[in-house]
């Protein structure tokens, strides 16, 4: 993650750019992600823990969360479970835990994707773009019911 290169968007983000919330307790990683994602056309807000993320989620709308699993206090998995009960924002989890059980736990909690650390920043951009292209989380799709007279 030391080398930073631009991927899709060569310009700074504009107001229409997807707005991401990056939540990681590691200041260095948080700042690198903010810089890299901003340079690649995303609007980025950062939080250092779940409590700070909750405050930002209460006041702002985000197109996607990039969420670290291992944080002091409320973990990324716990935050994901809580968010799934109230919001439908896509979540991509980042973690140093690469065991299959950890990935399954994150996905079962409602994460849309999971990327183990260390990772190639270009892969992060591709995964974010794939989730955004799908138009939201896969874990909790909304089903519309159409009613025509007595027929549903």
Identify the CATH number of the domain in which residue 126 sits: 3.40.50.2300
| Domain-located, residue 13 | no
| Domain-located, residue 61 | yes
What phi-psi label fits residue 149: left (phi over 0), alpha (psi between -120 and 50 degrees) or beta?
left
| Domain-located, residue 14 | no
| Domain-located, residue 94 | yes
0.85 exceeded by pTM: no
pLDDT single digits (tens) 79-108: 999 999 998 999 999 988 767 787 888 888
Q: Which helix (H) or strand (E) holds 137?
A: none
| Domain-located, residue 3 | no
Adjacency order of strands within the sheet including 43-47: 43-47, 19-23, 64-68, 91-95, 113-116
Range(s) of the domain holding residue 106:
19-134
pLDDT single digits (tens) 14-68: 778 999 999 999 999 999 999 999 999 999 999 999 999 999 999 999 999 999 9
Average pLDDT score over residue span 66-74: 93
Count: domains in the chain: 1
Rg, Å, the chain Cα set: 16
The CA distance from 97 to 19, in Å, is 26
């Amino acid at each position: 993650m030391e080398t930073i290169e631009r991927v899709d968007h060569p310009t700074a983000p504009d107001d229409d750019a997807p707005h991401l919330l990056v939540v990681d307790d590691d200041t260095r990683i948080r700042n690198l992600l903010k810089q890299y994602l901003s340079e690649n056309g995303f609007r980025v807000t950062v939080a250092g823990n779940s409590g700070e993320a909750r405050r930002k989620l209460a006041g702002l709308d985000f197109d996607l969360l990039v969420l670290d699993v291992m944080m002091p206090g409320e973990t990324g998995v716990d935050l994901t479970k809580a968010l799934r009960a109230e919001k439908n924002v896509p979540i991509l989890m980042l973690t140093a835990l690469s065991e299959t059980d950890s990935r399954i736990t994150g996905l079962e909690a409602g994460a849309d994707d999971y990327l183990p650390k260390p990772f190639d920043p270009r892969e992060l951009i591709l995964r974010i773009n794939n989730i955004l292209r799908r138009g939201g989380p896969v874990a909790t799709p909304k089903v519309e019911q159409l009613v025509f007279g007595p027929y549903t």
